[in-house]
Amino acid sequence: MDNIIIIAIIALGGLGLISAVILYFIASKFKVFEDPKIDEVEEALPSANCGACSFPGCRSFAEATVKSAKENKNIEGLFCPVGGNDVMQKVGELLGLDVEVQDPMIAVIKCNGTFNNSPAKIKYEGASSCAFAHALFTGEGGCQYGCLGHGDCVDACDFDAIHMSPETGLPVVNDKCTACGACVEACPRDIIELRKKGPKYRRIFVSCVNKEKGGPAKKNCSVACIGCGKCEKVCNFDAITITSFLAYIDFKKCTLCRKCVEVCPTDAIWEVNFKPRKPKPLTPEGSVARKPAPVRKNDDLLVTATEEKPEIISKTEDNPNA
Amino acid sequence: MGVFKTFVLGGIHPEENKLSSNAPIEIVPVPGQAIIPLGQNLGAPAKPVVKKGDKVKTGQLIAEAGGFISANIHSPVSGTVLKIDNVVDMTGFRRPGLVIKTDGDEWDENIDRSDELVTEINYTSQEIIEKIKQAGLVGMGGATFPTYVKLMPPPGKKAEYVIINGVECEPYLTGDHRLMLEKGPEIVVGAKILMKALKVDKAIIGIESNKQDAINLMTELTNKEEDITVIPLTVKYPQGGEKQLIKATVNREVPSGKLPIEVGCVVQNVGTAFAVYEAVQKNKPLFERVVTVTGKSVKKPSNFLARIGTPISKLVEIAEGMPEDTGKVIGGGPMMGKALPSLEVPVVKGSSGVLLMRDKESHRKPESACIRCSKCTIVCPMGLEPFLLARVSKLGRYDLAGNEKIMDCIECGSCQYTCPANIPLLDYLRLGKNKVGNIMRNRKK
């Protein structure tokens, strides 16, 4: 009886030993050389595997970075938007290369078709999916360019950075945004854009993507860009272009002077995270003193400074009601 | 009378509600202005050939085909081109289109406006196809596939049957039924023209047995024609689908992902057959069509012969106004139609009907969880598994949806109709089909 156990132990142990020796030799013979730097770079990356860098995951980004560093002596065009400049700096140190500092970006919702601004005309009862609703109809407010409000962008976000606001029916981006671009791709109406985060998170953008002329655009939404061109004229830096009745502010050229915000007749241009402006001195005769621009913080729910309507102010005393 | 033929797989029996089947086709007065979207057919939208301010006559070419799968558009009214701009189309989207202000009703000289029946076909196959192409004919059943493309089988394929689709399986709609009753002889000539164009010697007219008067009339008209057979069919939705009709009439099955020409069949709607007759024998391009305006509360459910570009509101007005309890207006039939965003949308080449649904019947019931009853699978006429396809589409697994043959879905809506859990299966199927189609097209490039 004892014999059998001993034989079994010797036989199996011997077999295991022989296999181990064979495997050891095969492994060393056919070893694939892998740069240890790949592991180091991967370690430095955020491991979100979100695909924002256009690679399938952090590992393949690390491989591509090390390969590029080896072959071209630079890692131009490779950037981890989630990790941002800090992580890229670390990667650069590991590879002994200088990394260009890039402006941090954030996803910006370019639609302000809230329940008030674009009241619902059509009732929708279908599946709750923007992609489907987009193929079927214009949207409850009637604007065929505006946000549908079913939250495909929320589903796409891996970072809990975008949420639907129940008050406005529009998505809201918070500080967690890493500019990975998943929501940009998910939006069937191309409303979301990645824009520069800006100094002190300040940014100015056109919160509308309506390509219609003034009349049809205003019919469905009171804050639509009507393509009047006032902002284009007032901009001293050629940052604003108007194509098919829609203004676009180039964030690379914009100096955040806020002139365009003042002239916009429909409040389509937004300034975010700026301090509220001082009340202006009386405007010239007959012109309209505009209501102060709404104070907007980090794309959160907009807070209007005052709810008063614009009033006509005249300097002449004999005609106070002019 | 024995048991009628029908297709085998699935199918449902919705309430027929053919309220307007006794209402003769009424001619709608020419509208004050016609709104003509340029994308009225499946495929590429047409390109306008007139300028703003041009005078046009009824039947004059105003936009030409923008590609191989595309169709010409002719002016439905005579008058002045008011603008070439974005106009509201059937879905409520503002897309390129024309607006023509009506001034009298002067027809193009080439159009033969007499009622005389011309039975002699003096054209060759090529000439017929060219005429149909010039007249801008599209499938009148609702899919709006350009007709001339169907008449040109790809090399190596030979058509054996022309199947004229007089099934009209959609509940409520009666346009095709009335057309068969009133324009029967013309439809028979249209079928002969199609046979000549395709060089085939067999034609079948499939009619569901709930239209006994049409079956009788068409049988009588085709008594002397040995090569045209009228086949009565059991009432079952979606028998009007091409693949289902082929299975029901000639008992052939179209392979997955292939066109009916694969099994030697070309299916055309009776409306198309009538339009073919008018285009070839009377030189009349497609600028008017039969539209059913119906609904349970509508005072006068009617069938109209309306010009393309007539606002739907005008048709509703003639049908004695919109009932107060209207909850939803649907363009097309209740099964496959889409809700209209407003009554100001125009009649287009694919408008088969306007259904004014009562408020109480127009709402969707709240969705609950799938109970795996497999009713959707049983009724699917294509043999698919709608619950699975909807699930994978919802989860974004379009690769799986593609493997499970989502592209074979004919969007008939039987699954959603029958679902006891009220799951919007068709919504997800359409979404998945759209996405998978895009992926496949991109892959081909």
All structural domains of chain A with their residue ranges: 36-95, 105-312
SS3 B138: strand
Provide the phi-psi class of B87: left if phi over 0, else alpha when psi is between -120 and 50, else beta.
beta
CA distance B158 to B161: 9
The amino acid at residue A129 is S
The whole-number pLDDT of residue A293 equals 60
- A233: its two tokens: 């004229």
Q: Could you give the count of Cα atoms lying within 13 Å of A302 in the half-sphere of its Cβ?
A: 25
Q: Do B339 and A137 touch (CB under 8 A)?
A: yes
Range with the poorest average pLDDT among A67-76, B48-57, B267-276, B398-407: A67-76
Write the DSSP symbol of residue B346. B
| Residues 216-255 in A contacting B (C-alpha not used; CB under 8 Å) | 216
SS3 B146: strand
Instruction: Name the minimum distance, in Å, from the CA of B127 to any CA of chain A.
Output: 38
Tell me what the mean pLDDT of segment B209-225 comes to. Answer: 91
Query: Which of chain A's residues have a Cβ under 8 Å away from the Cβ of B363?
Result: 125
Q: Do B428 and A216 touch (CB under 8 A)?
A: no
What's the Rg (C-alpha) of chain A?
29
Which residues contact residue A187 at a Cβ distance below 8 angstroms, ignoring those fewer than 6 apart?
A130, A152, A153
- pTM (two decimals): 0.82
The whole-number pLDDT of residue A200 equals 82
- A74: its two tokens: 């630079």
Query: Which of chain A's residues have a Cβ under 8 Å away from the Cβ of B364?
Result: 125-126
CA distance B247 to B158: 18
- Best B85, B427, B430 member to test A by mutation, with max A CBs in 10 Å, is B427
Domain with CATH 3.40.50.11540 in chain B: 1-24+110-363
Smallest Cβ distance to B93: which of A126, A129, A144? Answer: A144
Smallest Cβ distance to B341: which of A127, A129, A138? Answer: A138
Instruction: Name the minimum distance, in Å, from the CA of A122 to any CA of chain B.
Output: 7
- Best A121, A129, A152 member to test B by mutation, with max B CBs in 10 Å, is A129
Q: Do A216 and B93 touch (CB under 8 A)?
A: no
Write the DSSP symbol of residue B136. T
CA distance B147 to A254: 54
The whole-number pLDDT of residue A242 equals 92
Report strand pairing: B73-74 vs B55-56.
unpaired
Q: Rounded to a whole number, what is the distance in angstroms from the first to the last CA of chain B?
A: 54
Instruction: Name the minimum distance, in Å, from the CA of B424 to any CA of chain A.
Output: 6
Percent of chain A residues past pLDDT 70, beyond the cut: 86
The whole-number pLDDT of residue B386 equals 93
Exposure string over B253-285, b if 16+ CB within 10 A, otherwise e: ebeeeebbbebbbbbbbbbbbbbbbbbbbbbbb
Quick one: closest CA in A to B340, which residue?
A137
| Residues 98-157 in A contacting B (C-alpha not used; CB under 8 Å) | 121-122, 125-127, 129, 131-132, 135-138, 142, 144
Instruction: Name the minimum distance, in Å, from the CA of B366 to any CA of chain A.
Output: 10
Give the residue with greater pLDDT, A76 vs A41.
Answer: A41
CA distance A94 to A66: 10
Neighbours of A79 (CB within 10 A): 21
The whole-number pLDDT of residue A288 equals 43
Instruction: Name the minimum distance, in Å, from the CA of B92 to any CA of chain A.
Output: 6
Tell me what the mean pLDDT of segment B51-80 comes to. Answer: 91
Third-level CATH fold of B1-24+110-363: Rossmann fold (3.40.50)
CA distance A123 to B149: 38
Give φ, ψ of B306 to 5 degrees.
-115, 145
Third-level CATH fold of A36-95: 3-methyladenine DNA Glycosylase II; Chain A, domain 3 (1.10.15)
* A108 in Cβ contact with A205 (< 8 Å): yes
For the stretch A221-234, pLDDT in tens is 889 999 898 899 99
Interface ipTM > 0.85: no
